[in-house]
Amino acid sequence: MRKIIIDTDCGSDDAVAIAMALKESAVEILMLSTVVGNVPMQQATTNTLTTLGYTNTYHPPVYMGCERPLLRKSSYAYETHGIDGMGDIGLVPPENATAADGNGVIKILETLMAHEPNVIEIVCLGPLTNIAVAISLSLETMRRAKNITIMGSAGFGIGNVTPVAEFNIWHDAEAAKIVLDSGLPITFVGWDACLGDAAFDEDDIQRLRATGALGDFMINCNKLLVEFNINRFGRGILDFADPVAMAVALWPEIVTQCDKYHCEVDVSDGPGYGALIIDRNNEFGGEPNAYVCTQVDAKLHKEKLFQLASQ
């Protein structure tokens, strides 16, 4: 069975991605670490515990990680996911659900050390602060990870927080730079990969809701995201960014466009801050250092999600 660590700033689309991994019988989630991003880290922890309760499978430990970016102030995604990050519909974690003792960053390192090298996969659904701190503490330990799949970057498209930057990278670009420059095996799943046919339209939303209680939870907690997208895109779609990144990690067969490029993170104090610069034409002459996934088989991805939700 494949073994996974999930690092999350759990908002409403993170919740869907976490539920997917919990329901996928081919993988075991060893632990989850929470990080500041969509919401404060403490709220992300509450949301993660809530998601475990609604998914109703098994309960891997949830550890609290970094509560602020490395250098900059936090800027939460309240307009997209709500003040509580879960659509402000009044969700609460199960009674007696609490975070496990220990720091999330340290627990990532300890979990890697407790297993053979090249066994554990890491899936990052939020800003990369926890991962950057772990690398700074022990790069050798982080090299034991088989790979790191990151929901991050605009891919080859436009950004969702600035014209060029996607939220997870932009929220802590300095951390993203540390991760990218570490030499670890990285796959970025760009925001462009969750748009177009990969976005859930009104029919997809209704079909997911109709799968049962878990599908209903997935749609309800994304209520504000649907409303936000009516203003952003002109219709109530769900650009399920974190679920697409999780799908890429869980099911490599859905990937239709993913190549390795030389990439750099813009940490300059200007309008480009937070952009992942992808050297598609090798203008810089740098060695390729990260895979960038920009397209998936949308039909296959959706069918797999519908099947998991209905289990």
Q: Which domains does the chain have, with CATH numbers?
A: 2-310 (3.90.245.10)
Q: Does residue 175 have a pLDDT over 90?
A: yes
CB-based burial of residue 287 (10 Å sphere; 0-12 exposed, 13-18 middle, 19+ buried)?
Answer: exposed
The C-alpha atoms of residue 22 and residue 294 are separated, in whole angstroms, by 25
Report, as an integer, the average pLDDT of 97-118: 98
- Residue that wins the pLDDT comparison between 231 and 62: 62
Q: Tell me what pLDDT residue 96 has.
A: 87
pLDDT tens digit sequence for 10-53:
999 999 999 999 999 999 999 999 999 999 999 999 999 999 99
In this predicted model, what pLDDT tens digit does every residue of 210-228 receive, in sequence order? 999 999 999 999 999 999 9
Q: How confident is residue 88, by pLDDT bands cut at 50, 70 and 90?
A: very high
Q: Is the pTM of this model over 0.85?
A: yes
| Residue 123 near residue 131 (C-beta atoms within 8 A) | no
Q: Which residue has the tokens 């309760």?
A: 53
What average pLDDT does the segment 277-298 reach?
96
Query: What is 213-265 written as a DSSP string?
Result: HHHHHHHHTTHHHHHHHHHHHSS--B--HHHHHHHHHH-GGGEEEEEEEEEEE
pLDDT-based confidence at residue 158 (cuts at 50, 70, 90) = very high
Lookup: tokens for 42: 């403490």
pLDDT digits (tens, 9 = 90+) for 234-287: 999 999 999 999 999 999 999 999 999 999 999 999 999 999 999 999 999 999
Kindly tell me if the per-residue pLDDT of 141 is higher than 90: yes
pLDDT exceeds cutoff 90 at 70: yes
Q: Is the pLDDT of residue 188 over 90?
A: yes
SS3 (DSSP) at 58: coil
For residue 273, which amino acid is it? Y
- pLDDT above 70 covers a percentage of the chain that reads 100
Give the pLDDT band (50/70/90) at residue 178: very high
